[in-house]
Chain A
Amino acid sequence: MDVMIHRFAAAARAAGLRIATSEVLDALALLPRVDILDEAQFAALLRANFAKSRLERARFEHLYHLFFHELREDLHASSAPVAPHVEDFRRELISLEPPSEALSAIADFLAADPAAYLELLNSLQSEGRGAAGGPRGAGANLGGLVRRLPVLRALQRAREALDGFLAANRSRIHWETRRDLERHLAGRLETARRLLAGEDPLRRLTPTPLPAVTETYGELGRTPFANLSPGERVRLREAMAQLVRRLRDQTGLRTKARSRGLPDLKRTLRGAVRTQGIPLELRFRRRPPRKGRIVVLCDVSGSVWSTARFMLVMLYALQDCFDRVRSFVFVDAPHEVTRHFDDHEADRALTEVLHDPAVPYGAPTDYGRTLRLFRHRHLDTVTKKTTVIVIGDGRSNYGNPEEAILGEIRDRARRLIWLNPEPEAFWNSGDSEMRSYAVLCNEVRVCQNLNQLADIVRNLVL
């Protein structure tokens, strides 16, 4: 059993779960305390030790099923006669010429050791990372299919080898065993193919639920930014200015009350100990803590820009509620625009951003490359005090979405919020990678009108 748990941990790591050695040891130490024949207990033991957040849990569930159900039919007595032949076939596969990494990973997978194969799939997902920072490397942005092709070919070779193996052993293996063996191995090859095609729930996790919003602004608040008439735009600006005033008042009032009045009794008394208990010096409460740092990453392709610009205006109008706001725009690479907003008021800054020659407005949007370069150049802007806000539709022209990097950013940040101007129904159609991104965020929201924007900003500031 211990061996199996080590193997399971290896497979889970290969599939991207972070499991520390101490966690494996803890699980092993507790193993004798549960009834391993009671699956609820056994699974709960592994889950409690290996899946330590809601996000990891979904992935864990899938791996658990793969490892202890799909790949473990050989534990059943009925398939016992098949086992030695599976081993023979595995040896035959790894000795095939020309050898290939994919083929030997598949061979192990067929023999119920999926770690190498899962690792291979995981590396496909994040391929091209090596080229980070450099020019767009070949392969970095080729379609997913092209990247998967060598593995697909290896699966094909394995299938052909299986037919050959069965034919060659027609006289040596009993026909019933041969039939079971065929069924068994073909089933596993099918599982391997499904994992490769991403049809599996390994990636299809449930996205964060999206709370609806408070309806504050009626019709104007419901109209998508992109559809506003010029007259409505004017009213929108007024409503936004008013909201900013109100929020500043609410946060500002608190600040004033504290710096003006409210002495801090404890600190005053503590000081008084030094002066024979006479409170010579009144101490006041410190300024209330500000709401941390903000890093915004804005997609500036057409459809998103109408939302992103209003969000930027709001954030900078409320700038003094935060320690620091840094902003980046991107088409296929992140480009810092903080200084435009530091130097000018929002409207002028927006115009400058739109005319910044460094931003290739005509280029196809590339989220994967943007994330790679962001990690390479700007990752130090993100700390445990930072709330990272991505504003984008997640449409990346079928490039590698590099969702692993987004996960890395989330791990460094205090919170990761994704605002998508598209209604949820469109998220997973066409080239939208929203499905991959959404599960990694602490919060995902639709943001296409004033009601939604106001709600989001209110939550950020108050």
Chain B
Amino acid sequence: MPFSDVEATRQTLEAAGYACSPEIATVVFLAAVAGKPVLVEGPAGVGKTELAKAVARGLGRELIRLQCYEGLDETKALYEWEYAKQLLYTQIAREKISDAVSGAASLGEAMERIAAEEDAFFSERFLLARPLLKAIRSPAPVVLLIDEVDKSDPEFEAFLLEVLSDFQVTIPELGTRKALHVPFVVLTSNNYRDMSDALKRRCLHLYIDYPDAETERGIVCRRIPGLSRRLAEQLVAAMGRIRALDLKKTPSISETLDWAQALLSLQVDSLSREVVLSTLNVICKYRQDAQRVRQEVERVVKFP
């Protein structure tokens, strides 16, 4: 049992550098208890991927990551035979092969003899393990991150469902491999498309939203230690107002961190109108967004 209770889970994650709400701690704890995957949804940059990393750090486990995209298939996710390597070995071992077949009465017999050696060609040596197989074969428990699963195709989702339900795979040439330890699985989604009901049923669901000011300040102070408390407070308050502006790309925690870093290197001690205007490109990726913030800048930097 990796965690003893919700509070211990929260402390572990915090110690691993992840600012953690009671809700996040509860779901992570329950997933560990039940051996179920967590399906994490939420806007870009709120720390979905980071959560999996923090769990791995906190538990001292290896993190195995499978990045999903359109067209991802089993050979990229599970395993693949290394044809080039097999070929190379065949070439080098050509003499041995002719030894094996020398004296064969017929072509058929030669084939039989080669077939008897087939195991040599389809052995672990030539197997290229991709993330899912790596997670299943690992002798120590791991954290498996299946990132942006909403980008994968429905066929792949069905395949994933199979793997996630019994954590075993069958490789025709080698037999069935079953996981020694059920990995702690985190799936993340940006809600590009809905996942199937079957997959959702298999998982615990966690929605991570933009953090509240208090939490975000905690993250900033931890990540950018040199920043003064006052500036961190202003920064986070300003960010909250900018997020309310309905931009094309709402800035996320990553942008807050970049911004904090920029302010630190500019050595400013307070967030003024001028400072915001000169660092806008750090928070806004689009020109219109920057324009919008410029219009509202008075409101953004109005601190008590």
Question: Which residues from chain A sit less than 8 Å from chain B, CB to CB?
Answer: 18, 20, 22-23, 26, 29-30, 33-35, 38, 40-41, 43-45, 47-49, 51-54, 57, 209-215, 265-266, 269-270, 272-273, 277, 289, 384-385, 410-411, 414-415, 442
Contact B23 A57 (CB under 8 A): no
Contact B193 A269 (CB under 8 A): no
Q: Which residue of A lies closest to B41 (CB)?
A: A54
New A-B pairs, 7, CB < 8 Å, besides A48-B206, A215-B288: A18-B197, A41-B22, A41-B26, A48-B204, A53-B194, A214-B286, A277-B90
Considering only residues 114-134 of chain B, those with a C-beta below 8 Å from chain A are none
Other-chain residue from A47, A211, A414 in contact with B205 (beta carbon distance below 8 A): A47
Given A35-B6, A212-B288, A442-B194, are A52 and B205 also a contact pair (CB < 8 Å)?
Answer: yes
Contacts of A57 in B (CB 8 A): 207
Contacts of B164 in A (CB 8 A): none
Distance (whole angstroms) from the CB of B249 to the closest CB of chain A: 7
Contact A209 B30 (CB under 8 A): no
Given A20-B201, A26-B34, are A211 and B194 also a contact pair (CB < 8 Å)?
Answer: no
Does B182 lie at the interface of the complex (its beta carbon under 8 Å from any beta carbon of A)? Answer: no
19 A-B contact pairs sorted by A residue (CB < 8 Å): A22-B201, A30-B34, A33-B29, A34-B6, A35-B5, A35-B6, A40-B26, A45-B30, A52-B197, A54-B41, A54-B207, A57-B207, A209-B250, A211-B248, A212-B246, A266-B83, A273-B86, A277-B87, A385-B154
Given A289-B70, A384-B154, are A212 and B248 also a contact pair (CB < 8 Å)?
Answer: yes
Does B163 lie at the interface of the complex (its beta carbon under 8 Å from any beta carbon of A)? Answer: no
Contact B26 A269 (CB under 8 A): no
Contact B34 A41 (CB under 8 A): no
Does B91 lie at the interface of the complex (its beta carbon under 8 Å from any beta carbon of A)? Answer: yes
Please measure, in the bound complex, the distance between the C-alpha atom of A273 and the C-alpha atom of B207, giving whole angstroms.
49
Please measure, in the bound complex, the distance between the C-alpha atom of A130 and the C-alpha atom of B289, giving whole angstroms.
48
Considering only residues 21-39 of chain B, those with a C-beta below 8 Å from chain A are 22-23, 26-27, 29-30, 33-34, 36, 38-39
Contact A212 B22 (CB under 8 A): no
Given A33-B30, A414-B193, are A44 and B201 also a contact pair (CB < 8 Å)?
Answer: no
Please measure, in the bound complex, the distance between the C-alpha atom of A45 and the C-alpha atom of B31, giving whole angstroms.
10
Distance (whole angstroms) from the CB of A409 to the closest CB of chain B: 12
Please measure, in the bound complex, the distance between the C-alpha atom of A388 and the C-alpha atom of B289, giving whole angstroms.
29
Contacts of B41 in A (CB 8 A): 53-54
Distance (whole angstroms) from the CB of B164 to the closest CB of chain A: 15
Contacts of B197 in A (CB 8 A): 18, 20, 52, 411
Q: Which residue of B lies closest to A33 (CB)?
A: B33
Contact B23 A277 (CB under 8 A): no
Please measure, in the bound complex, the distance between the C-alpha atom of A44 and the C-alpha atom of B36, giving whole angstroms.
15
Number of B residues contacting the other chain (C-beta, 8 Å)? 44
Given A53-B205, A277-B90, are A44 and B34 also a contact pair (CB < 8 Å)?
Answer: no
Considering only residues 79-96 of chain B, those with a C-beta below 8 Å from chain A are 83-84, 86-87, 90-91
Distance (whole angstroms) from the CB of A411 to the closest CB of chain B: 7
Given A44-B26, A211-B248, are A273 and B204 also a contact pair (CB < 8 Å)?
Answer: no
Q: Which residue of B lies closest to A29 (CB)?
A: B34
Please measure, in the bound complex, the distance between the C-alpha atom of A214 and the C-alpha atom of B291, giving whole angstroms.
13
Contact B34 A269 (CB under 8 A): no
Considering only residues 217-261 of chain B, those with a C-beta below 8 Å from chain A are 246-250
Given A212-B248, A269-B84, are A30 and B194 also a contact pair (CB < 8 Å)?
Answer: no
Distance (whole angstroms) from the CB of B64 to the closest CB of chain A: 23
Distance (whole angstroms) from the CB of A459 to the closest CB of chain B: 11
Contact B191 A54 (CB under 8 A): yes
Does B2 lie at the interface of the complex (its beta carbon under 8 Å from any beta carbon of A)? Answer: no
Given A30-B33, A277-B91, are A40 and B22 also a contact pair (CB < 8 Å)?
Answer: yes
B168-200 CB contact bits vs A (8 Å, 1 = yes)?
A: 000000000000000000000001111101001
Does B71 lie at the interface of the complex (its beta carbon under 8 Å from any beta carbon of A)? Answer: yes
Q: Most chain-B CB neighbours within 10 Å: which of A30, A213, A410?
A: A30
Contact B26 A53 (CB under 8 A): no
Contacts of A211 in B (CB 8 A): 248-249
Please measure, in the bound complex, the distance between the C-alpha atom of A173 and the C-alpha atom of B91, giving whole angstroms.
98
Contacts of B71 in A (CB 8 A): 289
Distance (whole angstroms) from the CB of B74 to the closest CB of chain A: 14
Given A23-B201, A45-B26, A52-B205, are A273 and B87 also a contact pair (CB < 8 Å)?
Answer: yes
Please measure, in the bound complex, the distance between the C-alpha atom of A207 and the C-alpha atom of B36, giving whole angstroms.
30
Contact A212 B194 (CB under 8 A): no
Contact B87 A272 (CB under 8 A): yes
Does B19 lie at the interface of the complex (its beta carbon under 8 Å from any beta carbon of A)? Answer: no
Does B145 lie at the interface of the complex (its beta carbon under 8 Å from any beta carbon of A)? Answer: no
Q: Which residue of B lies closest to A443 (CB)?
A: B192
Does B203 lie at the interface of the complex (its beta carbon under 8 Å from any beta carbon of A)? Answer: yes
Please measure, in the bound complex, the distance between the C-alpha atom of A396 and the C-alpha atom of B195, giving whole angstroms.
30
Contacts of A415 in B (CB 8 A): 192-193
Distance (whole angstroms) from the CB of A286 to the closest CB of chain B: 10
Distance (whole angstroms) from the CB of A251 to the closest CB of chain B: 14
Contact B83 A273 (CB under 8 A): yes
B61-83 CB contact bits vs A (8 Å, 1 = yes)?
A: 00000000011000000000001
Q: Which 7 A-B pairs rank lowest in CB-CB distance, beginning with the nearest?
A: A44-B26, A40-B22, A52-B200, A384-B154, A48-B204, A269-B83, A44-B23
Given A277-B91, A384-B154, A385-B154, are A48 and B194 also a contact pair (CB < 8 Å)?
Answer: no
Distance (whole angstroms) from the CB of A226 to the closest CB of chain B: 23
Q: Which residue of A lies closest to B121 (CB)?
A: A273
Other-chain residue from A41, A384, A411, A414 in contact with B6 (beta carbon distance below 8 A): A41
Distance (whole angstroms) from the CB of B214 to the closest CB of chain A: 15
Given A22-B201, A48-B206, A52-B39, are A442 and B26 also a contact pair (CB < 8 Å)?
Answer: no
Given A209-B246, A211-B248, are A49 and B204 also a contact pair (CB < 8 Å)?
Answer: yes
Please measure, in the bound complex, the distance between the C-alpha atom of A289 and the C-alpha atom of B70, giving whole angstroms.
9
Please measure, in the bound complex, the distance between the C-alpha atom of A55 and the C-alpha atom of B57, giving whole angstroms.
32
Contacts of A213 in B (CB 8 A): 248
Distance (whole angstroms) from the CB of B94 to the closest CB of chain A: 9
Contacts of B192 in A (CB 8 A): 415, 442
Please measure, in the bound complex, the distance between the C-alpha atom of A22 and the C-alpha atom of B204, giving whole angstroms.
12
Please measure, in the bound complex, the distance between the C-alpha atom of A273 and the C-alpha atom of B83, giving whole angstroms.
8
Contacts of A209 in B (CB 8 A): 246, 250
Given A48-B205, A411-B194, are A53 and B87 also a contact pair (CB < 8 Å)?
Answer: no
Distance (whole angstroms) from the CB of A205 to the closest CB of chain B: 13
Please measure, in the bound complex, the distance between the C-alpha atom of A289 and the C-alpha atom of B39, giving whole angstroms.
27
Please measure, in the bound complex, the distance between the C-alpha atom of A246 and the C-alpha atom of B99, giving whole angstroms.
61
Please measure, in the bound complex, the distance between the C-alpha atom of A44 and the C-alpha atom of B201, giving whole angstroms.
16
Contacts of A49 in B (CB 8 A): 204-205
Contacts of A53 in B (CB 8 A): 41, 191, 194-195, 200, 205
Given A33-B33, A277-B87, are A44 and B191 also a contact pair (CB < 8 Å)?
Answer: no
Contacts of B195 in A (CB 8 A): 53
Contact A34 B30 (CB under 8 A): yes
Distance (whole angstroms) from the CB of A40 to the closest CB of chain B: 4
Please measure, in the bound complex, the distance between the C-alpha atom of A289 and the C-alpha atom of B22, giving whole angstroms.
43
Distance (whole angstroms) from the CB of B203 to the closest CB of chain A: 7
